[in-house]
Structure 1
Amino acid sequence: MRAAALYPVAGALLLTTLAAAPAGGVPSAGTGVGSGSDSGVALAAARAAEQGVTFGKCPDTPVLPAGVQCGTVTVPLDYARPDGKQIQLTVSRMRATHRDPHNSKHRVPRQGALVFNPGGPGGSGLVFPLAGQLPEWKRVAAAYDLIGYDPRGVGRSAPLSCQDPQQFVKAPSLAPTHPSEAYKQERVTQAKAYARACAKRAGGTLRHYTSLNNARDLDVLRAALGEQKLTFLGASYGTYFGALYATLFPSHVRRMVFDAPVNPDPARIWYHNNLAQSAAFESRWTDFREWAARHDRVYRLGSTPGAVLRSYEQARARLAAAPAGGKVGPGQLQSAFLQAAYYDDYWPSRAEALSAYLKGDPKPLIALAAPVREAAKETENANAVYTAVECNDGPWPTDFRVWDLDNTRLARVAPFETWDNVWMNLPCAYWPEPRQKPLDVRTGPGELPPTLILAAERDAAAPYDGALEMHRRLSGSVLVTERDAGAHGIAGGKNRCVNGHLEAYLLEGRLPVRRASCAPHPEPKPSAPRESAQKPRAIRG
């Protein structure tokens, strides 16, 4: 699922980020449900419970303050062979503070560990414990150890790589919304080469990067932390393998929060979900243009959404002819504005940069959109894990003509993101490993404790129908909707109503009787164009 790999808790601090194939395929060796995998999880969890986690100094990257400690948890590469090759997951922790932010004399009892996953696939959660320093999270941080980790393949957890990082972030690049046949064939060739490179670099390990194994790893992590039952917050893609966990291990669940849920329907994993996502990005792109048009006095991009689009297309044409700073072409422009479709707090900086560029000052746009060479390794790693997990998880059309037909049709009404989404996922058409049959996510009445689902109504990266489907499939779940808003992930963000439901659930186990809704958080205020712009938080897109 094309999602933010870097996920902002409270909108400021934390790193977080598909129509022809039927639901089918065959389980990959050692990755299917059963066939020894279930007993392998039980054995690995028992070993982890005995060993625990020895927390100490964190690795140098990312830089974490002294209050955050790190350790490792050992998991089998292949759960069907639990005594075979082992890999280590890097885990971070900030202990519960016990401090009530509203009453300094009250010592808050510890409720256990809260484990977080930011999504992706390919997102690192190591910085999550820093959320405890934010006002929106202090009550939760008082009661819980905040636990982040790098899932298998990510960062410092047996990292996966498919190509040279500097080649991956090579710029400038094009991003045609209606590509020529020659361009399509060029991208097909690149997708085939990328799939082959993943197989060559990873060797026999490649098939073991799956959502099912991420769910199994989560149970081993639970046991290593000494938790009899899991308290978990998953965002975006993290909601999918969180739902797999709930299906596989319902008796191991204490509380689960699904923030910005992806659609878990097996028939949607993942080709159809990405088609739906491309369509939803067009609506969110319109939201941004309507906002910029309302603030035309500030940005001078046009007083209607159509006029703002013409300003954007003017910039695309200029960048195609002469990339800004030799680094920012149409591809980098599109990526920067895709970030605005994830989070509306990016709207002012994007409008500022576009306005300045059209007036002759490229510096703000270069600062926003140029590749960060220092982050190339992290960026390439995140993409490699994303590709491996999604390609392994389910069936994909293997004939490019299917992709071409579906997305040519879609691009007529949703040109903003459609083809860029295709190129990101196209290696799955030529993937060398056998595909799994997606698990039917579902729990019956009484099998699972009540769970909380949070969703913004206009989320593009995880369209709202995914929240409705998750709600239908997880018996006893309660859905809280932020109306008329589109941030990708709303837990601990700007909306006090949403945060009230989150705290009531995590701290008291209390949920609304039925589905609830919250008014939208305020739109961002415009700010006057400046001479320079701040580097954006990295977003998968």
Structure 2
Amino acid sequence: MTTYRRKATLAALSAAVVAGALLPTAPASAAAASAAAPRLDWTPCGPAGQGQECATLPVPLDYRDPRGEQLALAVTRIRSTRPDARRGTLLALPGGPGGSGVERLTQKGPRLARETGGMYDLVGFDPRGVGGSTRAHCRIDEADRRLVTLRAWPGPDGGIDVNVERSRRVADACRRNGGPVLDSLTTANQVRDMDLLRRALGERRISVWGSSYGAYAAAQYAQKHPHRTDRIVLDSSGDPDPRRVAQGWLRDMAKGVDDRFPDFAAWAAHPDRDGEGLRLAERPEQVRPLFLAPAARLDVTPVPSAHPGVPVDGNVLRQALQVSLVGDAAFPALARLIQAVQDPAAATDPARRPVLPPPLAAPLSDEDATITTGVVCNDVRWTGTVEEHRAAVAADRAAHPLTAGLPANITPCAYWKEPAEKPTRITAKGPSNILMIQNRRDPNTPHSSGLKMRAALGDRARLVTVEQGGHGVYLGNGNACGDATVSRFLRTGERPAEDTYCPSAD
């Protein structure tokens, strides 16, 4: 999978993840604390000249039995270049669920090392179920592993019967085929794995930069192990409400897309687009209806795409929008897609057929669909009957046409077995060593949702609001003020005295 495709896919899924770990908190935690720290045998890996090393961390499948069956986690690091000024270890946690920490460090490591002055050993790992770590398999049907079907988009008339059947089918496949590895895919186990990794690295405390779902995992770690944390950065946080967790993140996406769409509209109506052949309208307020109208037509009459066997219907166009709002770099391709689905010549000229964003052009692998489904359903019970979902979808479609009821729809989590372990509530109890950073217009983790994480943490945290759009802030969207604030905190521990603001980079 290309870097763009993986990043876009995981960003899209992180806000609307679909579809059980059964490990009791106290006994598992006590057993984990008593287990011997494993040895990490490092070997060179990664791009030449980057100084990257890789190792494998064995972790218990079930922390109640720490010496029982083990899973393998892929780990990577870039050593501190200043041993005399070394601060410790900085762990980079990706989003998802399903993001690769190994890939994240490979991509971001050199710049992160520069920004932090070479003071840290930089470490990333693939959580259980991801990338080079032990994978799980639900054996989900290929048709159900397409992003536009893995996501629960309602039918053209708002109907959800197809979603109900698909949700049952995916949950049944996971129940039959997932086994103990699938059951172990939880945020609670990621937190345990993080602490075992800390011990294997020989660190008394660790610093963490977590993004999106990784920010939630980092906050959970800081709550469970407050005195094992040094400096914590939560980048693009969602609402940590333990009663809802990912179900709440999904519902919040409707507002996130509404918040972000005006950025695309302003871009698509700007006179600069004339020279690029991408100007969709004279004024920004005209762009929204120019998106909604073709989506409605495609609901009735899909058109062929440049990808064999993948027609463009209304939900494919809506999903392409959600994927593309993650970063401004995707705006040109989205504008071309909106133009192409309205081009009459596309029906007869294959060269003019719409080109979809890579995450929509082919199904996800079974392993990627399984990790994305497993963690969010294992973490918490998703509530709502079919009739309650039906009513919620109707209301959501009326209030938020851009997402057309998706955020309120039913998922495989509705048919999942009951989690035996409740999520930990994030509180203000603990050291004041957390810096949050949040884009004002984030399609996946809206600013309003980040404020709920901020409120939960109380005086433990400070929040930097960046006046930009997109998902992911630090070293991600080119905002010098935001990057400098986080880098300074990681280097010196200095945070703003109170919540603060960074203007747009434009």
Q: Residues 403 and 284 (structure 1 numbering): CA distance in 2 closer, same or farther, change over 3 Å?
A: same
Q: Is the 8 A contact 2:21 2:185 kept in 1?
A: no
Alignment correspondent of 2:290 = 311
Within a 5 Å distance, the mapping from 1:162-311 to structure 2 comes to 162-164=138-140, 166-169=142-145, 179-180=156-157, 183-295=159-271, 297=274, 298-305=277-284, 307-311=286-290
Distance in 2 (alpha carbons) for counterparts of 1:450 and 1:176: 40
Q: Is the 8 A contact 1:7 1:489 kept in 2?
A: no
Amino acid at match of 2:59: V
Distance in 2 (alpha carbons) for counterparts of 1:246 and 1:227: 15
Within a 5 Å distance, the mapping from 1:95-494 to structure 2 comes to 95-98=79-82, 109-131=85-107, 138-140=114-116, 142-164=118-140, 166-169=142-145, 179-180=156-157, 183-295=159-271, 297=274, 298-305=277-284, 307-313=286-292, 315-316=294-295, 317=297, 320-325=301-306, 326=308, 327-330=310-313, 331-359=315-343, 360=345, 365-366=354-355, 368-369=357-358, 371=360, 373=362, 376-377=364-365, 380-421=366-407, 426-434=411-419, 436-444=421-429, 447-474=430-457, 475-483=459-467, 485-493=468-476, 494=478
Q: Residues 370 and 363 (structure 1 numbering): CA distance in 2 closer, same or farther, change over 3 Å?
A: farther
Unaligned runs of 5+ in 2: none
Larger displacement relative to structure 2 (89-98 or 191-200): 89-98
Larger displacement relative to structure 2 (114-123 or 458-467): 458-467
Deviation of 1:517 after TM superposition, in Å, equals: 0.8
Distance in 2 (alpha carbons) for counterparts of 1:366 and 1:224: 46
Distance in 1 (alpha carbons) for counterparts of 2:358 and 2:69: 40
Alignment correspondent of 1:498 = 482
What CA deviation, in whole Å up to 9, does each residue of 1:147-191 have, x standing for no partner? 12110111222112223574445599799666447x521221111
Distance in 1 (alpha carbons) for counterparts of 2:377 and 2:422: 12
Q: Is the 8 A contact 2:140 2:174 kept in 1?
A: no
User: Which of 22, 28, 53 is the matching residue for 1:37?
Assistant: 28
Distance in 2 (alpha carbons) for counterparts of 1:517 and 1:306: 27
- TM-score between both structures, scaled by the size of structure 1: 0.80
For these two proteins, the number of residue pairs brought into alignment is: 480
Q: Residues 207 and 72 (structure 1 numbering): CA distance in 2 closer, same or farther, change over 3 Å?
A: same
Distance in 1 (alpha carbons) for counterparts of 2:238 and 2:188: 15
Larger displacement relative to structure 2 (160-169 or 406-415): 160-169
Give the CA RMSD over aligned residues. Answer: 3.2
Distance in 2 (alpha carbons) for counterparts of 1:356 and 1:221: 49
Distance in 2 (alpha carbons) for counterparts of 1:337 and 1:517: 28
What CA deviation, in whole Å up to 9, does each residue of 1:32-61 have, x standing for no partner? 321x112122124x423xx2x111255xxx
Amino acid at match of 2:34: L
Distance in 2 (alpha carbons) for counterparts of 1:367 and 1:29: 39
Deviation of 1:310 after TM superposition, in Å, equals: 4.0
Larger displacement relative to structure 2 (501-510 or 325-334): 325-334
Q: Residues 382 and 141 (structure 1 numbering): CA distance in 2 closer, same or farther, change over 3 Å?
A: farther
Distance in 1 (alpha carbons) for counterparts of 2:414 and 2:145: 22
Q: Is the 8 A contact 2:226 2:431 kept in 1?
A: yes
Q: Residues 205 and 433 (structure 1 numbering): CA distance in 2 closer, same or farther, change over 3 Å?
A: farther
Deviation of 1:396 after TM superposition, in Å, equals: 1.2
Distance in 1 (alpha carbons) for counterparts of 2:109 and 2:127: 23
Q: Residues 407 and 175 (structure 1 numbering): CA distance in 2 closer, same or farther, change over 3 Å?
A: closer
Deviation of 1:376 after TM superposition, in Å, equals: 3.7
Q: Is the 8 A contact 1:480 1:498 kept in 2?
A: yes
Amino acid at match of 2:281: G
Alignment correspondent of 1:68 = 52
